[in-house]
Amino acid sequence: MFDILSHCKAGVEVNEGPDFHVKVEMVPVPELGEINLIKNVLYQQIKRVNEIGSDDILIK
């Protein structure tokens, strides 16, 4: 049997808007019921990157 971690590292958007950046933070691991919500959030973020272009993303 495997232990499921309660937290993990993830890229988190900071300062939402045209001058946003992403930083790595420890975040809670979602429960199984939250998977559809996470898929939707990821889809929205990917869509946003496609709209602004990946050259405009600054990762610090």
Q: Which residues contact 49 (CB under 8 A, 6 or more apart)?
A: 57
If you average pLDDT over residues 36-56, what whole number do you get? Answer: 71
Domain containing residue 46: 7-59
**Residue 1 located in a structural domain:** no
Pick the closest to residue 12 from 56, 21, 29 (CA basis): 21
**Residue 17 located in a structural domain:** yes
Q: Which residues contact 37 (CB under 8 A, 6 or more apart)?
A: 30
**Residue 53 located in a structural domain:** yes
Percentage of the chain beyond pLDDT 90 is: 8
Q: How far apart are CA 37 and CA 4, in angstroms?
A: 19
pTM of the model: 0.44
Is pLDDT above 50 for 16? yes
**Residue 2 located in a structural domain:** no
**According to the model, what pLDDT value does residue 25 have?**
92
Sorting pLDDT into bands at 50, 70 and 90, what band is 24?
very high
